[in-house]
Structure 1
């Protein structure tokens, strides 16, 4: 942490998962500050949790899908101008394994939906942040790093 403007600065550490099946991307529609937005399954890292564990948990909680992580896509920084909050997102590629349609979705999640990349891009004005498309664009471009680059030292 660095000292900034008389207080400690700490970014929000988040994870996101790009889940692809049959050319479609698993997305969530969620209500944020009264606005309906689209995102990947994503959320905050919790204490004592690895980045991979967080990605699996958030995907399950927001969509009802259990997935298998296949690669690390990258780390992304973004500052939300409206709030001044800084985000550090760790993104993963994944494949769906099983779905539990009876699982209640996280608060704020309206629905999980499968969109083609073109459908997601056409709804760009509804993306929760620019991170949504950037992560997908990198995935579509073939950006992949082995999961072994991530180390969690408990």
Structure 2
């Protein structure tokens, strides 16, 4: 039996446009929650490819990561899984009309920071932490990440 601890590698994007943030309303654990566009990095995919893909699959928007905001860890009390999140500041490029969104996604929502700070249904504490870090200017060049083939 393998008792090795295996955290889940994930990505998320913070996308601001006209004073609002592109968020995802989704179902998690039977509840409606708000999250950044976020998800798991798939095998054979680079971290930046995952960030682009997850943003499109969850919001219907193409986006381009511009800066790394930070690296975050979170252990979900619901399942005990630890998530390692690479969070990026990204630029919204284009909304894809009639995009097919992932299962469990209700749809994209543009929200102000005040709405997010007052929201009782953020998926995890990482949601607001990533946005607050972005607003405080925590942004690092993408070449901070090195991926070997």
| TM-score where L is the length of structure 1 | 0.94
CA RMSD of aligned residues (A): 1.2
The alignment status of 1:112 with 2:108, answered yes or no, reads yes
Partner SS state of residue 4, structure 2: strand
Q: 2:134 aligns with which of 125, 133, 139?
A: 139
Alpha-carbon deviation of 1:101?
A: 2.3
The CA distance in 1 between the partners of 2:13 and 2:147, in whole Å, is: 18
- Per-residue CA shift, 1:35-92, capped at 9, x if unaligned? 0000000000100111111000000000110112110011001111221111101100
Unmatched runs of 5 consecutive residues or more in structure 1: none
Question: What is the number of residues matched between the two proteins?
Answer: 149
Unmatched runs of 5 consecutive residues or more in structure 2: none
The CA distance in 1 between the partners of 2:14 and 2:148, in whole Å, is: 25
The CA distance in 2 between the partners of 1:71 and 1:36, in whole Å, is: 29
Q: Any runs of at least 4 consecutive aligned residues in structure 1 with deviations exceeding 3 A, and if so which?
A: none
Matches within 5 A, 1:38-77: 38-77=34-73
